[in-house]
A = this chain, B = another copy of it.
């Protein structure tokens, strides 16, 4: 196993950081790594905002429910950005382009571009001895995050990335058995094997939650998910995104 794969397989999300900010060089390497990711049609349809202002960090920590946003060594917000694509276009061209900028295809392009970039930045950070945690929680009040960062039309915050020197080492969290997520040529060729794999995973998670070093509980994968998704979650995201011009046709 080479160094890159070793790094990838060693990932755990870090939620407690030492009180030490990232250096400019570390930030620079993370952004440069993000930018080297593949990008649809060379659009590079994302922007990255580094949040260093303590009052903004604190407010985002509060609204997302994650104290490690505030205590991170650097906090990034990855944004889907289709705004830049109309740079320099005359009004007539802009009107034509809007049919695309407003559709689901290009919303998807921007979200995927941003996520590929973020994963490169994350691995670069981890390879420098830093820990990371994605913060989807910024979407709990996505409109407020938008206001805090002054985002224009066609730009929306997708997720945060808290980065810093790890101050704990959690266990590796189990992943689904490969039979439950990887198939050849057709989706779920063997239903029984699929269901057995999910059952096995529930048992694995039950054991993981019962035995892990902190926050032990009685739970498994499917029960936890059903509980989470049985009440409406972030229903306002839809309208907010459309209000920014995206995903509306």
Residues in A192-219 with C-beta less than 8 Å from chain B: 195, 198
Q: Which of A169-191 contact B (CB under 8 A)?
A: 173, 175-176, 178, 180-188
> Other than the known A4-B126, A5-B124, A96-B230, what 19 A-B pairs have Cβ atoms closer than 8 Å?
A9-B33, A11-B36, A13-B38, A38-B133, A42-B221, A42-B225, A48-B181, A49-B185, A51-B184, A88-B226, A89-B222, A99-B232, A100-B229, A100-B233, A101-B229, A103-B237, A111-B111, A119-B119, A123-B123
Residues of B within 8 A of A185 (CB): 49-53, 56, 149
Q: Within the complex, what minimum Cβ distance (angstroms) separates A16 from chain B?
A: 16
Contacts of A50 in B (CB 8 A): 182-185
Q: How far is the CA of A212 from the CA of B210 in the complex (A)?
A: 58
* Complex Cα gap A87–B197 (Å): 11
Interface string of A90-124 (1 = CB under 8 A from B): 00010011011101111011011001101110111
Q: Is A165 located at the chain interface by the 8 A CB criterion?
A: no
Chain A positions within 8 Å of B, measured between CB atoms, are 1-5, 7-9, 11, 13, 28-29, 31-33, 35-38, 40-44, 46-53, 56, 79, 81, 84-89, 93, 96-97, 99-101, 103-106, 108-109, 111-112, 115-116, 118-120, 122-124, 126-128, 132-134, 136, 139, 149-152, 155, 158-159, 173, 175-176, 178, 180-188, 195, 198, 221-222, 224-226, 228-235, 237-238, 241, 247, 249
B-chain residues with CB within 8 Å of residue A178 when the two chains form the complex: 28, 31-32, 35
Specify which of B37, B106, B175, B225 is in contact with A35 (CB 8 Å cutoff). B175
B136 touches A226 (CB 8 A): no
Q: Judging by beta carbons under 8 Å apart, are B4 and A127 in contact?
A: yes
Given contacts A46-B181, A249-B238, is CB(A230)–CB(B11) below 8 Å?
no
CA of A9 to CA of B121, assembled, Å: 11
* A99 near B3: Cβ-Cβ < 8 Å: no
The quantity of this chain's copies bound in the complex is: 2
Name A3's contact: one of B4, B222, B233 (CB within 8 Å).
B4
User: What 4 A-B pairs are tightest by C-beta distance, nearest first?
Assistant: A115-B115, A4-B127, A119-B119, A104-B238
Q: Which residue of B lies closest to A3 (CB)?
A: B3
Please give me the residue from chain B that is nearest to A43 by CB atom.
B225
Query: What chain B residues lie within 8 Å of A198 (beta carbons)?
Result: 84, 87-88
